[in-house]
Amino acid sequence: MEMSRKILIDMIKLRSALAENSDLKIPEGLFYQTANSNGLKSIRELAVFRFSCRKCEDAPCISVCPAEALEKDSDGIINRHTNLCISCKSCVTICPFGTMMTDFFKHHRNKDLYYNLNDRTELNMFIDSCPSGVVSITESDESPEKNIYSLNDNILIREYLYTTEKP
Ligand code: SF4
Ligand code: SF4
């Protein structure tokens, strides 16, 4: 992908789509050959823990995890160790803010639902597989007034931050 073009993932639209159909199978995008690919950690997971999570001081998700798979990094962002996680979803259930979606870790060992976003064909398949309008290509940049934030050099995320007033 050209440097000026970015992938915009609209977490707000994704939540609406999931609210309408909780059985929806959400494809996951990731970048292979990066630190993020270890254990198929998806863009959605990185986005949720970075932007949606309230970063609770005594995080109940960490205490409830039977596998000690969750910990905070030095910025207070939750990191899930995919090699330890047993997909029990206790953390999803206990989070008082519904940060994690109900399907969140369900498919994390199913490679068929993962798309390599460095590959143009797979990127197009990822866009087509996601609910309409959730993923798009944009030449725009980070724009907090539109609830759009940069996850990394290639990805923009649209999400309400907990410090942001909803319109
Ligand atoms: S309980 Fe929910 S909001 Fe709190 S730190 Fe864990 S994921 Fe974030
Ligand atoms: S789903 Fe994974 S991270 Fe969450 S509580 Fe269970 S083992 Fe821990």
Return the closest-CA partner of residue 53 out of 63, 42, 44, 40: 44
What distance in Å separates the CA atoms of residue 167 and residue 137, rounded to the nearest whole number?
A: 24
Structure confidence at residue 164 (pLDDT): 47
- 113-133 pLDDT, tens per residue? 788 888 899 999 999 999 999
DSSP-assigned beta bridge partners for residue 156: 8, 150
> Tokens 């590959």 appear where?
119
Phi and psi at residue 79, to the nearest 5°? -125, 130
From 44, 50, 56, 80, the mutation candidate for ligand 1 (largest count of ligand atoms within 8 A of CB) is 56
Tell which atom from ligand 2 comes closest to the C-alpha of 64.
5
Structure confidence at residue 35 (pLDDT): 52
Tell which atom from ligand 2 comes closest to the C-alpha of 92.
4
DSSP-assigned beta bridge partners for residue 149: 157
**Separation of 54 CA from ligand 1 center, angstroms?**
6
- 45-62 pLDDT, tens per residue? 889 999 999 999 999 999
User: What letter does residue 165 receive in the DSSP assignment?
Assistant: P
What distance in Å separates the CA atoms of residue 80 and residue 153, rounded to the nearest whole number?
A: 22
**E strand segments, 50-98:** 70-72, 78-80
Does any ligand 2 atom lie closer than 6 A to the CB of residue 148? no
For the segment 72-90, the average pLDDT, to the nearest whole number, is 89
**Separation of 42 CA from ligand 1 center, angstroms?**
18
105: burial class by Cβ within 10 Å (0-12, 13-18, 19+)?
A: buried
User: Which residue type does 167 have?
Assistant: P
Structure confidence at residue 145 (pLDDT): 95
Which one is predicted more confidently, 91 or 1?
91
